[in-house]
């Protein structure tokens, strides 16, 4: 009920604001626009690219097939209409103000216009590796962030996502090229930002992914991990269009099959008996399913309403959205309210516009890690126990020795809320100085006001917990980004020569400031049972805060040259200077050059079955300097305090805690990319293939340094590693659109081979956790002891000797693990560890299938990753028997009666069979997953007219419903943020199964 | 109109364009000083040495884990922790040498402390001081603390690479032998002693004194069986210039928050509950001790460490002059008879644990509250005068001056209301070996739970032969896992051995 109320308020607000905008638009701006409707034989076309020929001015048609575009000279201008699967048409404006066009299907998508950063290009003119993702494909999936929805929609994109309400996905483009931060750069309407959880994906009109160095070079120093360019929706000339989309989803979390009390007790007693210890006094009257306690069915609600329209010389787009996610883990949820206004107006040679989004997001965060606690808690522990302070059940020294956290207790006793208000927008103005020359200036601003609160109530959630009173912590932060960019664009066609040049300058300033306060003994209101969660209450106050600032100055230019659509040349240079880097290393230039040859346009090329063939080659450099603002400066930590004297008078301290490398410089990625684009069989089959070789030099990373340095607070950044990447991407699409039954199939394949070419500080290898990273191999190879089955008898133990006749594991008993004595010294030590596998996939495969018949549409996306070896952290807890945790149902530890098993004998209280540094916990991480399946029905126009709707569609879809894998953990598609331990599943939050029902309509 | 607009527009943007000065790229941290800006004043020097003292409040050292190494690994204590790996590291089952809580954290914090001392010793000599004495006292404290950390490194890992300069990220120090580490300890403490004041006053009380340096130096020498040098070092406190500063006090005043830094205290770690937050290098980090929270009995604290029951029996062997239970037991252990013997409850509770169980009581706050937490303010008297007296007696005995040694043991016994040693054990006489054996018992009765036992066992050679270890194992069955020549020292963190090509792992690991 509450939500509905909010919704109607929003609606009202939208109406008022949009009416205001319409008024503004109509009174302020003069005219020089062309508008019209683009359609095909069955009706209007949405998202058709419209470009003024020979310029970079472009737009797309809206939901009703209507476009509006400003034309420098209505008499001579020619409009280029391009649309996936249709033949491009060029139409002269001839001083008309309305130009309606009917397109003919061609089944080729090469005529799209794509945004390439500070401008657009026709897709067929591309010389670099750029993927285009359709907004419709992104929006059909239900995700919190746009990144989650990208997987499987483009080659070379790897997404490891979320699951938890408000969590943000990790995204990687073309593998690992960088060790400090692997997220790509996001550009939203020209603003360099982050499409994080407070960005509403429903506002997206198009997404372009710049994958190789030549394409991304225009963003220079920040483009090493690729660039994702997002364009938000704009209005079009015509009466106001109202669009509504609503989606409602239910979500479930994958679960383990865990032992119940009977089975748990049997194995637990066995573990104690084998260790010759007195059994625990398990309370067999309980049989708690901790997964039932911690998990629930989640749901998502996603509603968006937009209003758009405009006059010939001014357009507006206003949208409001609500997104709510009730988490699959108790006491977690996420809410987002978003609001956007995009407007644009033109008078003569002058154009002005703005994009503005305001979002409010609130996340009720998860406490502890229930994904792990559901098996660290035993089934014999009751959920509630009135004898404990706070009233919750947890471990007991005699009855249930575990330090597992009661997930319900911590969910109720700890409240963590993270909310923010973000304003993100830009104001731009364009001046058509001369016919071929345009000046554009853009002022971008983004700010986020963050507010975090933490309340710990009185009560316990784990065994022997230290007593703390009620504590309240509050934290407020403010970030802002100012971006000023100026560009000059020169555009000229002379006969068969077309030249497009852009030169620009950019300045960006990022500020962040944070302050926090905390108090103890927070007052409880006995009447309501609630704490006064304000900093006025309580005692023992502590506060703190800090600020950060980063400045970036850039100059850039791009030259595009096209001769008769046959020869294409693209050159880019960007020079960036950053305050993050060492004093003498601030500035660096990043050049790139790329070329393409459209063989199919040559006279000698005669082929009846090849419609288009273009080969491309390029070389480029991009950079990365994504480190902290002051990492090159050795700083003094002034936080230490010491109490001296009879009254414990506190004196301040000051010392260097973290070492710093003063000579930090840009990390450089050099990349060569070779590819071809071809279409065959009347454009029914299109193929794109890319091969790339890249080298990351001076990669910035926090290379592990020796403990003897005394360093703490994280390893200092160093320009240490040189990484080599080689990979291949292949995409093929087959579409059949000639009959009522239309379908298309796209397959994409990515292979990637990453190697360390050189390691930091002149070293050969480095060890982190159970991994080794060494020159000539990928990062973070598994480096563990090898197991060799179980000892079945005392004879086997006695006969397990090295060459010198020494018994290797004299203390072992039947049922214990036999380890390989790889160095042959007759003992199992760290020297026996060897490299046993790679955490990286050999190849990844995406498969997309779409079909339509009359009003029905069906689509399905699969994603598969093959060849990675991963460490199942949760299983290393459940199967180890040395510590009390719940066990997997049906687990068969070795017993004399049941020797045919790979699980060693259960033995409590010793790490001997349970050690974590063995290959016992490594598993095949290959998987194939149906990421999406959906069916939609477009209600026929005849039926709609009666109720005044122009279009209506119902969609039923599912995500992550089928996963094929041998991995025994919850989700083979987990993520780990440590670069050296990428394949380590520590109990990551799994991807959820989601079923959604969506409704879209417009009027 | 159009022209005017465009002119203004172009002008504005041009101004914006050229206003970007490169100086904008030189952004200093608005939050704190740089290393280059620090180390300029007397106050900076004092802050530097204070930060070195603050290392006592970090997990790897005297805030938490060191007690697992020194108390629980010895035959006084053991672990019955539900956290198996934590327990394994108190019973010589070292499987993963990178186990943070058992090894790496302590190793890391030792080097962190040494780094802080090395900063003071590198930068402070260059700072102009109005009073040269103040400067030399700061340098001497840095040497004391560095010697202190190398002392415990010698006890724990033995072959611990010595670092006496500020390290660059690329530095890979050479391995050091135990003898080299001891030499460093002796050098640092000798130099520290020369410049440290005999006493501090007012708000500076709690810093290292000359007596602290002499006592720790003596302890280091004793550990190396340099008996005569050790005696000479202790002389200052017992018979020399410093003797008037030290005396024995009411026994319980060595373990409570009241009467801290008293006459018995030789070197005392200053704890405080002023900052009830986590440990580390953040603002307002905890300055308290976690020991009691980890050692308090089940359902009061984590109960990760407890005392072996033989200690209770040892206390019960001999009564006081007026035929009562040794009063030191009352302040040393929680044990089943505590309430019957002395009328004391355990954190307000009657005995509810096993009949053969005991828990460490020293530094606990049972006398003032019903639970523990991470912010225990009771100072740790790392070296107290009773310990010095017993070590002095040990040196004398080893030097063949057994008769002379009696008086120092008796000073300690008398305070506990025990009859003189010669009266209680007339058979000892001037027999050096028997005196040593008795001294071992005297030390455990007086100092049990004060983190001295592991070094004692090593010094006495009780861990050098299988036969001796078997005797220790009678008191503490964990020693059945003890391999002679191996477990006498910890393994170096494997990650350090792997990443520093100059290192080899300790023998037999």
pLDDT tens by residue, B41-93: 999 999 999 999 999 999 999 999 999 999 999 999 999 987 888 999 999 99
Yes or no: say if A414 and A455 are a contact pair by the CB < 8 Å rule. yes
Look at residue A980 and tell me whether its pLDDT is greater than 90: no
Question: Residue A22 has what pLDDT?
Answer: 40
Pairing of strands A185-188, A227-232: parallel
Look at residue B454 and tell me whether its pLDDT is greater than 80: yes
In a domain, A134, yes or no: yes
In a domain, A27, yes or no: no
Kindly state whether A605 is in contact with chain B, defined as any CB-CB distance less than 8 angstroms: no
Question: Residue A607 has what pLDDT?
Answer: 78
Out of A232-241, A822-831, B203-212, give the one with best mean pLDDT.
B203-212
* pLDDT tier at A434, thresholds 50, 70, 90: confident
Average pLDDT over residues A422-443: 92
* pLDDT tier at A151, thresholds 50, 70, 90: low
> What are the backbone dihedrals phi and psi of residue A480, each rounded to the nearest 5 degrees, phi first?
-150, 150
Which residues lie closer than 8 Å to B387 by C-beta, 6 or more apart?
B215, B266, B446, B447, B450, B452
- CA dihedral in degrees (A100, A104, A108, A113; nearest 10)? -10
ipTM of the complex: 0.94
Spatial distance between the Cα atoms of B327 and B350, rounded to a whole number of angstroms = 19
Kindly state whether A912 is in contact with chain B, defined as any CB-CB distance less than 8 angstroms: yes
> What are the backbone dihedrals phi and psi of residue B211, each rounded to the nearest 5 degrees, phi first?
-60, -40
Residue the block writes with tokens 């697992």: B68
Same domain, A826 and A858: no
* pLDDT tier at A23, thresholds 50, 70, 90: very low
Residues 190 through 249 of chain B touching chain A, CB cutoff 8 Å:
200, 202-207
Yes or no: say if A39 and A65 are a contact pair by the CB < 8 Å rule. yes
Kindly state whether B301 is in contact with chain A, defined as any CB-CB distance less than 8 angstroms: yes
Look at residue A668 and tell me whether its pLDDT is greater than 50: yes
Q: What angle do CA A207, A211, A215 make, to 5 degrees?
A: 90
Average pLDDT over residues B412-437: 97
**If we measure between CA atoms, which residue out of A908, A707, A916 comes closest to residue B103?**
A707
| Cβ distance of B82 and A884 shorter than 8 Å | yes
Kindly state whether A401 is in contact with chain B, defined as any CB-CB distance less than 8 angstroms: yes
Spatial distance between the Cα atoms of B491 and B502, rounded to a whole number of angstroms = 16
Nearest by CB to B88, from A546, A634, A911: name it. A911
Minimal C-alpha gap between B474 and chain A (Å):
19
Cα separations in angstroms, A976 against A245, A887, A973, A981, A984 = 34, 24, 10, 7, 7
How many C-beta atoms surround the C-beta of residue A39 within 10 A?
Answer: 17
Same domain, A89 and A186: yes
Look at residue A739 and tell me whether its pLDDT is greater than 90: no
* pLDDT tier at A18, thresholds 50, 70, 90: very low
Same domain, A861 and A982: yes
Average pLDDT over residues B172-192: 97
Yes or no: say if A765 and A759 are a contact pair by the CB < 8 Å rule. yes
Question: Residue A466 has what pLDDT?
Answer: 82
Nearest by CB to A642, from B88, B202, B270: name it. B270
Look at residue A50 and tell me whether its pLDDT is greater than 80: yes
In a domain, A211, yes or no: yes
In a domain, B453, yes or no: yes
Question: Residue B402 has what pLDDT?
Answer: 97
* pLDDT tier at B12, thresholds 50, 70, 90: low
Look at residue A941 and tell me whether its pLDDT is greater than 90: no
Structure tokens at A177: 């090229």
Residues from chain A that touch B299, judged by Cβ atoms under 8 A, are 397, 464
In a domain, B497, yes or no: no
Residue after which a domain boundary falls, among A242, A275, A305: A242
Same domain, A813 and A933: no
**If we measure between CA atoms, which residue out of A344, A370, A468, A375 comes closest to residue A21?**
A344
The pTM of this model reads 0.82
In a domain, B418, yes or no: yes
Question: Residue B20 has what pLDDT?
Answer: 59
Question: Residue A361 has what pLDDT?
Answer: 95
Residues from chain B that touch A634, judged by Cβ atoms under 8 A, are 34-36
**If we measure between CA atoms, which residue out of A135, A139, A141, A133 comes closest to residue A959?**
A141
Question: Residue A157 has what pLDDT?
Answer: 76
> What are the backbone dihedrals phi and psi of residue B491, each rounded to the nearest 5 degrees, phi first?
-70, 150
Spatial distance between the Cα atoms of A190 and A184, rounded to a whole number of angstroms = 15
Yes or no: say if B248 and B240 are a contact pair by the CB < 8 Å rule. no
Its domain, for residue B475, covers: 312-481
Spatial distance between the Cα atoms of B154 and B150, rounded to a whole number of angstroms = 6
Minimal C-alpha gap between B109 and chain A (Å):
7
Look at residue A892 and tell me whether its pLDDT is greater than 90: yes
Spatial distance between the Cα atoms of A18 and A13, rounded to a whole number of angstroms = 8
Yes or no: say if B181 and B110 are a contact pair by the CB < 8 Å rule. no
Out of A66-70, A779-783, B209-213, give the one with best mean pLDDT.
B209-213
* pLDDT tier at A169, thresholds 50, 70, 90: confident
Query: What CATH number is attached to the domain comprising B365?
Result: 1.25.40
Nearest by CB to B111, from A348, A350, A708: name it. A708
In a domain, A765, yes or no: no
Question: Residue A19 has what pLDDT?
Answer: 42
| Cβ distance of A466 and B293 shorter than 8 Å | yes
Q: Is A381 exposed, middle or buried (0-12, 13-18, 19+ CB in 10 A)?
A: buried
- A955 bridge partner residues: A936, A998
pLDDT digits (tens, 9 = 90+) for B92-151: 999 889 999 999 999 999 999 999 999 999 999 999 999 999 999 999 999 999 999 999
Q: What angle do CA A593, A595, A597 make, to 5 degrees?
A: 175
Look at residue A107 and tell me whether its pLDDT is greater than 60: no
Mean confidence (pLDDT) of chain A: 87
Strand, coil or helix: A444:
strand
Residues from chain B that touch A649, judged by Cβ atoms under 8 A, are 203
Spatial distance between the Cα atoms of A71 and A432, rounded to a whole number of angstroms = 10
| Cβ distance of A518 and B207 shorter than 8 Å | no
Q: For helices B210-223 and B385-398, what crossing angle results, to 10°?
A: 40
Look at residue A74 and tell me whether its pLDDT is greater than 60: yes
Minimal C-alpha gap between A425 and chain B (Å):
19
Same domain, A795 and A928: no
Pairing of strands A33-40, A101-102: parallel
CA A983 to chain centre: 17
pLDDT digits (tens, 9 = 90+) for A444-463: 999 999 999 999 999 999 98
How many C-beta atoms surround the C-beta of residue B409 within 10 A?
Answer: 26
Kindly state whether A41 is in contact with chain B, defined as any CB-CB distance less than 8 angstroms: no
Residues 660 through 719 of chain A touching chain B, CB cutoff 8 Å:
661, 703-713, 715-716, 718
Same domain, A60 and A194: yes
Its domain, for residue A220, covers: 32-242
Question: Residue B6 has what pLDDT?
Answer: 58
| Cβ distance of B28 and A655 shorter than 8 Å | no
* pLDDT tier at B227, thresholds 50, 70, 90: very high
In a domain, A804, yes or no: yes
In a domain, A983, yes or no: yes
Q: What angle do CA A943, A944, A948 make, to 5 degrees?
A: 140
Sign for the pseudo-dihedral over CA of A256, A260, A266, A272: positive
Structure tokens at A899: 């020797």
* pLDDT tier at A220, thresholds 50, 70, 90: confident
Same domain, A984 and A850: yes
Kindly state whether A811 is in contact with chain B, defined as any CB-CB distance less than 8 angstroms: no
Spatial distance between the Cα atoms of A969 and A888, rounded to a whole number of angstroms = 11
In a domain, B34, yes or no: no
Same domain, A808 and A927: no
Residue the block writes with tokens 């209101």: A525
Residues from chain B that touch A548, judged by Cβ atoms under 8 A, are 30-31
Spatial distance between the Cα atoms of A200 and A337, rounded to a whole number of angstroms = 9
> What are the backbone dihedrals phi and psi of residue A557, each rounded to the nearest 5 degrees, phi first?
-155, 150
Yes or no: say if A781 and A769 are a contact pair by the CB < 8 Å rule. no
Question: Residue B19 has what pLDDT?
Answer: 54
Question: Residue A84 has what pLDDT?
Answer: 59
Report the range of poorest mean pLDDT among A18-27, A235-244, A850-859, B451-460: A18-27
Average pLDDT over residues B346-372: 95
Residues from chain B that touch A832, judged by Cβ atoms under 8 A, are none
The residue of chain A with its CA nearest to that of B292 is A466
Residues from chain B that touch A909, judged by Cβ atoms under 8 A, are 84, 87
pLDDT digits (tens, 9 = 90+) for B376-406: 999 999 999 999 999 999 999 999 999 999 9
Average pLDDT over residues A336-348: 94
Minimal C-alpha gap between A656 and chain B (Å):
7
| Cβ distance of B203 and A649 shorter than 8 Å | yes
Cα separations in angstroms, B442 against A584, B24, B44, B326, B461 = 65, 69, 45, 12, 17
Minimal C-alpha gap between A654 and chain B (Å):
5
* pLDDT tier at A181, thresholds 50, 70, 90: low
A257 or A89: whose pLDDT is higher? A257
Strand, coil or helix: A938:
strand
| Number of domains comprising chain B | 1
Residues 330 through 369 of chain B touching chain A, CB cutoff 8 Å:
none
Number of helices followed by number of strands (H, E) in chain B: 20, 6
Question: Residue A14 has what pLDDT?
Answer: 42
Residues from chain B that touch A482, judged by Cβ atoms under 8 A, are none
Nearest by CB to B302, from A464, A550, A762: name it. A464
Instruction: Provide the number of CB pairs (under 8 Å) joining chain A to chain B.
Output: 301
In a domain, A797, yes or no: yes
Structure tokens at B376: 């225990």
In a domain, A741, yes or no: no
Minimal C-alpha gap between A78 and chain B (Å):
25
The number of residues in chain A equals 1003
Same domain, A802 and A849: no
Same domain, A790 and A870: no
| Cβ distance of A636 and B34 shorter than 8 Å | yes
A696 or A707: whose pLDDT is higher? A707
Backbone φ/ψ region at A390: left (φ over 0), alpha (ψ -120 to 50), beta: left
Q: Is B355 exposed, middle or buried (0-12, 13-18, 19+ CB in 10 A)?
A: exposed
Minimal C-alpha gap between B206 and chain A (Å):
6
- A590 bridge partner residues: A574
**If we measure between CA atoms, which residue out of B203, B154, B198 comes closest to residue B179?**
B154
* pLDDT tier at B258, thresholds 50, 70, 90: very high
Cα separations in angstroms, B195 against A504, A653, A683, B132 = 65, 22, 89, 11
| Number of domains comprising chain A | 4
Spatial distance between the Cα atoms of B310 and A795, rounded to a whole number of angstroms = 39
| Cβ distance of A467 and B34 shorter than 8 Å | no
Yes or no: say if B230 and B218 are a contact pair by the CB < 8 Å rule. yes
Strand, coil or helix: A297:
coil
pLDDT digits (tens, 9 = 90+) for B269-310: 999 999 998 999 999 999 999 999 999 998 898 899 999 999
| Cβ distance of A709 and B115 shorter than 8 Å | yes
Nearest by CB to A766, from B168, B205, B499: name it. B499
Residues 114 through 143 of chain B touching chain A, CB cutoff 8 Å:
114-116, 118-119
Same domain, A56 and A79: yes
Question: Residue B103 has what pLDDT?
Answer: 97
* pLDDT tier at A20, thresholds 50, 70, 90: very low
Average pLDDT over residues A167-186: 73
Per-residue burial over A419-458, b if 16 or more Cβ lie within 10 Å, else e, is: bbbbebbbebbbbbeeebebbbbbbbbbbbebebbbbbbb
Report the range of poorest mean pLDDT among A40-49, A564-573, A576-585, A791-800: A40-49
Strand, coil or helix: B458:
helix
- For A437-496, strand residue ranges (E) read 437-456, 471-494
pLDDT digits (tens, 9 = 90+) for A111-126: 567 888 888 887 777 7
Spatial distance between the Cα atoms of B403 and A207, rounded to a whole number of angstroms = 92
Question: Residue A1 has what pLDDT?
Answer: 36
Look at residue A879 and tell me whether its pLDDT is greater than 50: yes
Residue after which a domain boundary falls, among A559, A579, A599: A579
- CA dihedral in degrees (B210, B215, B221, B226; nearest 10)? 100
Residues from chain A that touch B53, judged by Cβ atoms under 8 A, are 642, 653
Residues 726 through 785 of chain A touching chain B, CB cutoff 8 Å:
761-763, 765-768
Same domain, A791 and A865: no
Residues from chain A that touch B50, judged by Cβ atoms under 8 A, are 640-642, 651-654
Question: Residue B15 has what pLDDT?
Answer: 52
* pLDDT tier at A141, thresholds 50, 70, 90: confident
Average pLDDT over residues A60-80: 82
Kindly state whether B399 is in contact with chain A, defined as any CB-CB distance less than 8 angstroms: no
In a domain, B27, yes or no: no
Residues 634 through 653 of chain A touching chain B, CB cutoff 8 Å:
634-653
The residue of chain B with its CA nearest to that of A645 is B203
Spatial distance between the Cα atoms of B354 and B359, rounded to a whole number of angstroms = 11
Out of A290-299, A668-677, A936-945, give the one with best mean pLDDT.
A290-299
Question: Residue A10 has what pLDDT?
Answer: 44
Yes or no: say if A752 and A725 are a contact pair by the CB < 8 Å rule. yes
The percentage of chain A sitting over the pLDDT mark of 70, rounded to a whole number, equals: 94
Cα separations in angstroms, A354 against A195, A345, A350, A424, A834 = 18, 9, 14, 11, 59
In a domain, B456, yes or no: yes
């Amino acid at each position: 009920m509450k939500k509905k109320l909010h919704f109607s308020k929003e609606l009202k607000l939208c109406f008022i604001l949009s009416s205001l905008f319409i008024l503004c638009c109509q009174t302020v701006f003069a005219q020089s626009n062309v508008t019209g409707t683009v359609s095909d034989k069955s009706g209007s076309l949405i998202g058709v690219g419209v470009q003024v020929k020979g310029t970079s001015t472009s737009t797309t048609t809206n939901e009703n097939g209507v476009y509006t575009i400003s034309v420098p000279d209505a008499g001579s201008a020619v409009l280029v209409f391009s649309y996936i699967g249709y033949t491009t048409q060029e139409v002269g404006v001839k001083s008309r103000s309305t130009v309606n066009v009917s397109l003919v299907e061609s089944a080729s998508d090469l005529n799209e216009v794509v945004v390439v950063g500070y401008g657009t290009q026709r897709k067929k003119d591309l010389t670099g590796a750029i993927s285009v993702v359709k907004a419709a494909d992104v929006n059909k999936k239900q995700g919190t962030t746009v990144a989650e929805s990208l997987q499987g929609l483009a080659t070379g994109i790897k997404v490891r996502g979320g699951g938890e309400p408000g969590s943000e996905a990790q995204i990687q483009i073309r593998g690992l090229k960088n060790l400090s931060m692997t997220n790509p750069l996001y550009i939203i309407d020209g603003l360099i930002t982050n499409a994080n959880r407070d960005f509403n994906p429903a506002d997206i009109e198009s997404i372009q992914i710049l994958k190789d160095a030549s394409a991304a070079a225009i963003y220079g120093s920040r483009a090493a991990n690729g660039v994702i360019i997002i364009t938000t929706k704009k209005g079009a000339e015509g009466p106001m269009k109202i669009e509504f989309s609503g989606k409602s989803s239910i979500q479930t979390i994958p679960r383990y099959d865990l032992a119940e009390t009977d089975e748990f007790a049997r194995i637990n007693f066995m573990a104690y008996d084998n260790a010759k210890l007195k059994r625990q006094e398990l309370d067999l009257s309980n049989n708690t399913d901790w997964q039932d306690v911690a998990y629930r069915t989640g749901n998502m609600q996603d509603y968006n309403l937009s209003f758009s329209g405009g006059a010939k010389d001014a357009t507006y787009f206003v949208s409001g959205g609500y997104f709510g996610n009730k988490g699959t883990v108790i006491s977690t949820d996420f809410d987002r309210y978003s609001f956007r206004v995009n407007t644009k107006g033109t008078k003569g040679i002058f154009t002005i516009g703005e994009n503005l989004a305001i979002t409010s997001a609130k996340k009720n965060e998860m406490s502890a890690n229930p994904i792990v606690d559901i098996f660290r808690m035993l089934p014999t522990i009751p959920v509630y126990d009135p004898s404990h302070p706070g009233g919750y059940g947890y471990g007991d020294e005699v009855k249930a020795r575990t330090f597992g956290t009661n997930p319900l207790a911590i969910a109720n006793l700890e409240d963590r809320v993270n909310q923010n208000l973000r304003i993100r927008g830009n104001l731009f103005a364009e001046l058509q100085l001369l016919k071929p020359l345009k000046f554009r200036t853009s002022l971008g601003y983004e700010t986020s006001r963050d507010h975090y609160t933490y309340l710990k109530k009185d009560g316990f959630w784990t065994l022997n917990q230290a007593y703390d009173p009620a504590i309240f912590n509050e934290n407020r932060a403010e970030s802002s980004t100012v971006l000023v960019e100026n560009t000059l664009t020169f555009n000229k066609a002379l006969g068969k020569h077309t030249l497009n040049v852009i030169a620009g300058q950019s300045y960006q300033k990022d500020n962040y400031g944070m302050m926090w306060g905390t108090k103890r003994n927070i007052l409880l209101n006995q009447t309501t049972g609630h704490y006064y969660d304000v900093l006025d209450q309580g005692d023992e106050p502590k506060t703190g805060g800090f600020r950060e600032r980063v400045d970036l100055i850039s100059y850039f230019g791009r030259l595009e040259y096209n001769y008769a659509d046959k020869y294409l040349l693209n050159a880019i240079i960007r020079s960036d200077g950053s305050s993050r880097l060492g004093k003498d290393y601030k500035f660096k230039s990043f050049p790139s050059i790329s070329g393409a040859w459209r063989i199919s346009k040559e006279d000698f090329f005669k082929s009846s079955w090849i419609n288009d063939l273009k080969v491309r080659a390029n070389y480029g450099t991009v950079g990365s300097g994504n480190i902290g603002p002051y990492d090159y400066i050795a700083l003094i930590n002034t936080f230490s305090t010491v109490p001296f004297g009879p009254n414990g008078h506190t004196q301040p301290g000051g010392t260097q805690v973290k070492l710093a490398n003063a000579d930090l410089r840009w990390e450089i990625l050099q990349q060569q990319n070779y590819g071809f684009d071809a279409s065959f069989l009347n454009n029914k089959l299109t193929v794109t293939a890319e091969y790339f070789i890249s080298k990351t030099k001076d990669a910035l990373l926090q290379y592990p340094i020796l403990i003897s340095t005394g360093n703490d607070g994280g390893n200092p950044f160093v320009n240490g590693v040189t990484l080599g990447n080689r990979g291949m991407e292949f995409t093929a699409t087959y579409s059949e659109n000639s009959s009522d039954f239309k379908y298309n199939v796209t397959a994409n394949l990515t292979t990637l081979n990453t190697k360390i070419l050189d390691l930091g500080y002149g070293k050969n290898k480095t060890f982190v956790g159970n991994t080794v990273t060494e020159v000539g191999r990928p990062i973070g190879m598994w480096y563990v002891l090898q197991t060799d089955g179980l000892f079945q008898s005392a004879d086997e133990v006695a006969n397990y000797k090295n060459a010198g006749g020494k018994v290797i594991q004299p203390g072992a008993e039947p049922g214990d693990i036999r380890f390989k004595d790889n160095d042959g010294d007759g003992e199992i030590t760290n020297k026996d560890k060897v490299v046993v596998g790679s955490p990286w996939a050999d190849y990844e495969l995406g498969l997309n299938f779409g079909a339509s018949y009359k009003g029905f549409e069906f689509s399905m996306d699969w994603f598969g990753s093959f060849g990675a070896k991963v460490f199942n952290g949760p299983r290393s807890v459940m199967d180890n028997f040395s510590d009390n945790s719940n066990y997997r149902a049906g687990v068969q530890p070795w017993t004399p009666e049941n020797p045919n098993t790979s699980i060693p004998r259960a033995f409590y209280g010793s790490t001997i069979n349970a050690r974590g540094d063995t290959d016992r916990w490594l598993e095949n991480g290959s998987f194939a997953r149906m990421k999406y399946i959906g069916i939609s029905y477009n209600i026929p126009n005849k039926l709609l007219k009666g109720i005044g709707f122009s279009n209506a569609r119902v969609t039923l879809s599912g995500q992550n419903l089928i996963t094929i894998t041998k991995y025994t953990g919850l989700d083979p598609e987990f993520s780990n943020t440590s670069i050296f331990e990428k394949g380590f599943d520590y109990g990551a939050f799994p991807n959820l199964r989601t079923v959604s029902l969506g409704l879209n309509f417009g009027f | 109109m159009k022209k005017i607009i465009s002119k203004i527009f172009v002008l504005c943007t041009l101004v914006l364009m050229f206003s970007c000065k490169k100086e904008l790229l030189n952004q200093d941290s608005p939050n704190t000083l740089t290393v280059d800006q620090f180390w300029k004043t007397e106050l900076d020097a004092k802050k530097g040495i204070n930060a070195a003292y603050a290392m006592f409040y970090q997990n790897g050292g005297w805030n938490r884990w060191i007690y697992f190494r020194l108390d629980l690994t010895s035959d006084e204590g053991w672990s019955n922790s539900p956290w198996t790996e934590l327990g394994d590291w108190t019973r010589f089952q070292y499987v993963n040498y990178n186990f943070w809580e058992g090894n790496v954290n302590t190793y890391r914090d030792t080097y962190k402390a040494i780094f802080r001392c090395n900063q003071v010793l590198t930068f402070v000599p260059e700072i102009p001081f109005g009073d040269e004495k103040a400067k030399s006292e700061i340098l001497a404290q840095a040497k004391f603390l560095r010697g202190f950390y190398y002392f415990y490194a010698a006890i724990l890992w033995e072959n611990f690479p010595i670092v006496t300069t500020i390290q660059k990220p690329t530095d890979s120090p050479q391995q050091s032998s135990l003898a080299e580490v001891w030499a460093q300890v002796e050098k640092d403490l000798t130099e520290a002693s020369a410049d440290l004041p005999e006493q501090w006053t007012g708000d500076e009380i709690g810093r290292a004194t000359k007596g602290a340096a002499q006592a720790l130096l003596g302890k280091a020498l004793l550990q190396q069986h340099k008996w005569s040098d050790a005696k000479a070092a202790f002389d200052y406190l017992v018979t020399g210039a410093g003797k008037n500063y030290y005396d024995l006090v009411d026994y319980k005043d060595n373990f409570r928050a009241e009467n801290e830094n008293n006459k018995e205290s030789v070197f005392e770690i200053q704890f405080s509950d002023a900052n009830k937050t986590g440990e580390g290098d953040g603002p307002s980090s905890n300055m308290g001790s976690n020991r009691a929270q980890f050692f308090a009995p089940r359902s009061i604290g984590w109960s990760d460490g407890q005392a072996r029951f033989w200690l209770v029996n040892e206390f019960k062997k001999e009564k006081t002059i007026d035929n009562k239970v040794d009063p030191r037991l009352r302040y040393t252990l929680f044990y089943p008879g505590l309430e019957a013997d002395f009328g004391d409850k355990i954190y307000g509770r009657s005995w509810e644990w096993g009949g053969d169980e005991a828990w460490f009581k020293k530094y606990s706050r049972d006398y003032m509250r019903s639970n523990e937490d991470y912010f225990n303010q009771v100072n740790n008297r790392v070296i107290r005068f009773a310990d010095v007296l017993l070590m002095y007696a040990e040196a004398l005995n080893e030097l063949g001056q057994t008769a002379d040694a009696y008086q120092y043991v008796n000073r300690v016994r008398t305070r506990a209301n025990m009859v003189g040693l010669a009266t209680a054990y007339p058979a000892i006489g001037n027999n050096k070996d028997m005196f040593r054996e008795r001294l071992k018992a005297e030390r455990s009765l007086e100092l049990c739970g004060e983190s001295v036992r592991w070094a004692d066992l090593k010094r006495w050679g009780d861990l050098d032969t299988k036969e001796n270890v078997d005797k220790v194992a009678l008191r503490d069955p964990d020693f059945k896992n003890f391999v002679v020549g191996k477990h006498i020292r910890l393994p170096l963190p494997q990650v350090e051995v792997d990443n520093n090509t100059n290192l080899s792992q300790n023998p037999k690991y």
